[in-house]
Structure 1
Amino acid sequence: MKILAIPLLMVWGAVQAAQPLSQADTKSAMELAKNNGCFSCHSTAEKVVGPSYSSVAAKYSDDKDAVASLVQSIQYGSKGKWGRIPMPPHASLGKDDLNLLARWILTVEK
Protein backbone atom coordinates (compact mmCIF):
# COMPACT_ATOMS: atom_id res chain seq x y z
CA MET A 1 0.00 0.00 0.00
CA LYS A 2 2.87 2.40 0.74
CA ILE A 3 4.22 1.87 -2.76
CA LEU A 4 1.03 3.31 -4.27
CA ALA A 5 0.85 6.23 -1.86
CA ILE A 6 3.81 8.14 -3.29
CA PRO A 7 2.71 8.01 -6.95
CA LEU A 8 -0.86 8.88 -5.96
CA LEU A 9 0.36 11.90 -4.01
CA MET A 10 2.41 13.01 -7.01
CA VAL A 11 -0.63 12.72 -9.26
CA TRP A 12 -2.79 14.61 -6.75
CA GLY A 13 -0.18 17.40 -6.59
CA ALA A 14 -0.04 17.67 -10.38
CA VAL A 15 -3.84 17.81 -10.63
CA GLN A 16 -4.02 20.49 -7.92
CA ALA A 17 -1.33 22.54 -9.65
CA ALA A 18 -3.15 22.40 -12.98
CA GLN A 19 -6.44 23.70 -11.60
CA PRO A 20 -6.98 27.46 -11.91
CA LEU A 21 -7.62 29.36 -8.72
CA SER A 22 -11.10 30.60 -7.92
CA GLN A 23 -11.63 34.19 -6.81
CA ALA A 24 -12.10 32.91 -3.26
CA ASP A 25 -8.81 30.99 -3.41
CA THR A 26 -7.02 34.05 -4.78
CA LYS A 27 -8.42 36.20 -1.97
CA SER A 28 -7.49 33.56 0.62
CA ALA A 29 -3.95 33.27 -0.74
CA MET A 30 -3.47 37.04 -0.66
CA GLU A 31 -4.74 37.20 2.92
CA LEU A 32 -2.46 34.32 3.85
CA ALA A 33 0.51 36.14 2.30
CA LYS A 34 -0.43 39.36 4.07
CA ASN A 35 -0.93 37.68 7.46
CA ASN A 36 2.38 35.83 7.24
CA GLY A 37 4.50 38.85 6.36
CA CYS A 38 5.17 37.82 2.76
CA PHE A 39 4.42 41.33 1.49
CA SER A 40 7.20 42.68 3.72
CA CYS A 41 9.71 41.24 1.26
CA HIS A 42 7.68 40.65 -1.93
CA SER A 43 5.17 42.52 -4.04
CA THR A 44 3.15 41.37 -7.00
CA ALA A 45 4.98 43.43 -9.64
CA GLU A 46 8.22 44.89 -8.25
CA LYS A 47 11.27 43.58 -6.44
CA VAL A 48 11.36 44.59 -2.77
CA VAL A 49 13.80 42.52 -0.70
CA GLY A 50 12.91 39.39 -2.63
CA PRO A 51 11.68 38.99 -6.17
CA SER A 52 8.23 40.08 -7.29
CA TYR A 53 5.64 37.35 -7.49
CA SER A 54 5.30 38.02 -11.22
CA SER A 55 9.04 37.35 -11.63
CA VAL A 56 8.72 34.10 -9.70
CA ALA A 57 5.75 33.07 -11.86
CA ALA A 58 7.72 33.85 -15.02
CA LYS A 59 10.78 31.92 -13.84
CA TYR A 60 8.74 28.81 -13.09
CA SER A 61 6.26 29.08 -15.98
CA ASP A 62 7.62 26.04 -17.83
CA ASP A 63 8.51 23.99 -14.75
CA LYS A 64 6.16 21.05 -14.21
CA ASP A 65 7.40 20.79 -10.61
CA ALA A 66 6.93 24.49 -9.88
CA VAL A 67 4.33 24.06 -7.14
CA ALA A 68 6.48 21.53 -5.27
CA SER A 69 9.57 23.73 -5.65
CA LEU A 70 7.76 26.80 -4.34
CA VAL A 71 6.16 24.87 -1.48
CA GLN A 72 9.62 23.74 -0.42
CA SER A 73 11.06 27.27 -0.65
CA ILE A 74 8.18 28.75 1.33
CA GLN A 75 8.20 26.05 3.99
CA TYR A 76 11.96 25.68 4.50
CA GLY A 77 13.22 29.03 3.22
CA SER A 78 15.74 29.42 0.45
CA LYS A 79 19.15 30.89 -0.17
CA GLY A 80 20.88 31.88 -3.37
CA LYS A 81 17.99 31.48 -5.82
CA TRP A 82 17.42 35.23 -6.20
CA GLY A 83 20.55 36.75 -4.75
CA ARG A 84 22.42 36.84 -1.48
CA ILE A 85 19.54 37.61 0.88
CA PRO A 86 17.97 34.37 2.16
CA MET A 87 14.24 33.84 2.48
CA PRO A 88 13.26 32.76 6.00
CA PRO A 89 11.27 29.55 6.46
CA HIS A 90 7.55 29.54 7.10
CA ALA A 91 7.49 26.15 8.79
CA SER A 92 4.29 26.84 10.72
CA LEU A 93 2.16 26.90 7.56
CA GLY A 94 0.15 23.78 6.86
CA LYS A 95 0.30 21.70 3.69
CA ASP A 96 -2.89 23.20 2.23
CA ASP A 97 -1.79 26.78 2.92
CA LEU A 98 1.65 26.15 1.40
CA ASN A 99 0.06 24.63 -1.69
CA LEU A 100 -2.42 27.51 -2.03
CA LEU A 101 0.33 30.13 -1.74
CA ALA A 102 2.53 28.37 -4.30
CA ARG A 103 -0.34 27.97 -6.76
CA TRP A 104 -1.35 31.61 -6.32
CA ILE A 105 2.20 32.90 -6.86
CA LEU A 106 2.30 31.04 -10.17
CA THR A 107 -0.78 32.97 -11.35
CA VAL A 108 0.59 36.45 -10.66
CA GLU A 109 1.18 38.49 -13.82
CA LYS A 110 2.83 41.87 -14.22
Structure 2
Amino acid sequence: MALAATATLMAAPAHANPDLAKAKNCMACHAAATRLVGPSFKDIAARYKGQKDAEALLATKVLKGGAGVWAPIPMPANPQVSDAEAKTLVKWILAQK
Protein backbone atom coordinates (compact mmCIF):
# COMPACT_ATOMS: atom_id res chain seq x y z
CA MET A 1 0.00 0.00 0.00
CA ALA A 2 2.77 2.44 0.92
CA LEU A 3 4.57 1.70 -2.34
CA ALA A 4 1.43 2.41 -4.35
CA ALA A 5 0.97 5.74 -2.57
CA THR A 6 4.60 6.68 -3.13
CA ALA A 7 4.38 5.76 -6.83
CA THR A 8 1.25 7.87 -7.19
CA LEU A 9 2.91 10.88 -5.61
CA MET A 10 5.99 10.51 -7.78
CA ALA A 11 3.90 10.26 -10.94
CA ALA A 12 1.78 13.30 -10.07
CA PRO A 13 2.69 16.57 -11.78
CA ALA A 14 4.79 19.01 -9.80
CA HIS A 15 2.72 21.60 -7.98
CA ALA A 16 4.43 24.95 -8.13
CA ASN A 17 5.19 26.56 -4.85
CA PRO A 18 8.22 28.08 -3.20
CA ASP A 19 9.61 24.58 -2.62
CA LEU A 20 9.70 23.81 -6.35
CA ALA A 21 11.25 27.21 -7.05
CA LYS A 22 13.92 26.49 -4.42
CA ALA A 23 14.52 22.98 -5.73
CA LYS A 24 15.11 24.32 -9.23
CA ASN A 25 17.42 27.11 -7.98
CA CYS A 26 15.05 29.94 -8.98
CA MET A 27 15.44 31.41 -5.50
CA ALA A 28 19.17 31.90 -6.04
CA CYS A 29 18.30 35.00 -8.10
CA HIS A 30 14.61 35.70 -7.40
CA ALA A 31 12.46 36.24 -4.31
CA ALA A 32 8.72 36.44 -3.85
CA ALA A 33 8.44 40.17 -3.21
CA THR A 34 11.90 41.75 -3.41
CA ARG A 35 14.44 42.14 -6.16
CA LEU A 36 17.62 40.10 -5.80
CA VAL A 37 19.79 39.52 -8.87
CA GLY A 38 16.60 39.30 -10.91
CA PRO A 39 13.12 40.74 -10.43
CA SER A 40 10.76 39.50 -7.76
CA PHE A 41 8.07 37.01 -8.71
CA LYS A 42 5.52 39.68 -7.74
CA ASP A 43 7.07 42.17 -10.20
CA ILE A 44 7.14 39.55 -12.96
CA ALA A 45 3.45 38.79 -12.39
CA ALA A 46 2.59 42.50 -12.50
CA ARG A 47 4.55 43.12 -15.72
CA TYR A 48 2.96 40.21 -17.59
CA LYS A 49 -0.56 40.47 -16.13
CA GLY A 50 -3.17 40.03 -18.85
CA GLN A 51 -0.62 39.25 -21.57
CA LYS A 52 -1.97 36.30 -23.55
CA ASP A 53 1.37 34.74 -24.41
CA ALA A 54 2.98 35.34 -20.99
CA GLU A 55 2.99 31.70 -19.90
CA ALA A 56 4.67 30.44 -23.07
CA LEU A 57 7.11 33.36 -23.20
CA LEU A 58 8.19 32.98 -19.59
CA ALA A 59 8.40 29.18 -19.73
CA THR A 60 10.80 29.56 -22.65
CA LYS A 61 12.89 32.03 -20.63
CA VAL A 62 13.02 29.63 -17.69
CA LEU A 63 14.27 26.87 -19.98
CA LYS A 64 16.54 28.82 -22.34
CA GLY A 65 17.41 31.97 -20.42
CA GLY A 66 17.06 35.56 -21.52
CA ALA A 67 18.55 39.02 -21.24
CA GLY A 68 17.79 42.69 -21.47
CA VAL A 69 14.18 42.73 -20.24
CA TRP A 70 14.79 43.75 -16.62
CA ALA A 71 18.48 44.64 -16.56
CA PRO A 72 21.67 43.90 -18.46
CA ILE A 73 22.39 40.83 -16.29
CA PRO A 74 21.31 37.76 -18.29
CA MET A 75 19.20 34.98 -16.85
CA PRO A 76 20.94 31.69 -17.66
CA ALA A 77 19.14 28.67 -19.04
CA ASN A 78 18.00 26.20 -16.40
CA PRO A 79 18.66 22.65 -17.62
CA GLN A 80 17.34 21.22 -14.31
CA VAL A 81 13.79 22.23 -15.24
CA SER A 82 11.58 20.10 -17.47
CA ASP A 83 9.04 21.63 -19.86
CA ALA A 84 6.21 20.64 -17.51
CA GLU A 85 7.99 22.11 -14.49
CA ALA A 86 8.67 25.36 -16.34
CA LYS A 87 4.98 25.72 -17.18
CA THR A 88 4.01 24.91 -13.60
CA LEU A 89 6.51 27.40 -12.18
CA VAL A 90 5.36 30.14 -14.55
CA LYS A 91 1.69 29.62 -13.65
CA TRP A 92 2.64 29.96 -9.99
CA ILE A 93 4.77 33.07 -10.65
CA LEU A 94 1.99 34.74 -12.64
CA ALA A 95 -0.44 34.10 -9.77
CA GLN A 96 1.69 36.15 -7.33
CA LYS A 97 0.12 39.36 -6.07
- The two structures have a TM-score, normalised by structure 1, of 0.71
SS of equivalent residue, structure 2 residue 17: helix
Query: 4+ residue runs of structure 1 moved beyond 2 angstroms?
Result: none
SS of equivalent residue, structure 1 residue 58: helix
Residue matched to 2:34: 46
Question: Which sections of structure 1, spanning at least 5 residues, go unmatched?
Answer: 1-23
Residue matched to 1:9: none
Give the aligned CA root-mean-square deviation in angstroms: 1.4
SS of equivalent residue, structure 2 residue 72: coil
Aligned pairs, how many?
84
SS of equivalent residue, structure 1 residue 105: helix
- Given candidates 6, 17, 24, the residue that maps to 1:36 is 24
**In structure 2, how many angstroms separate the alpha carbons of the residues matched to 1:80 and 1:91?**
20
Calculate percent identity across the aligned residue pairs.
Answer: 37
Please state which structure has a larger fraction of its residues in helix: 1
- Given candidates 68, 92, 95, the residue that maps to 1:104 is 92
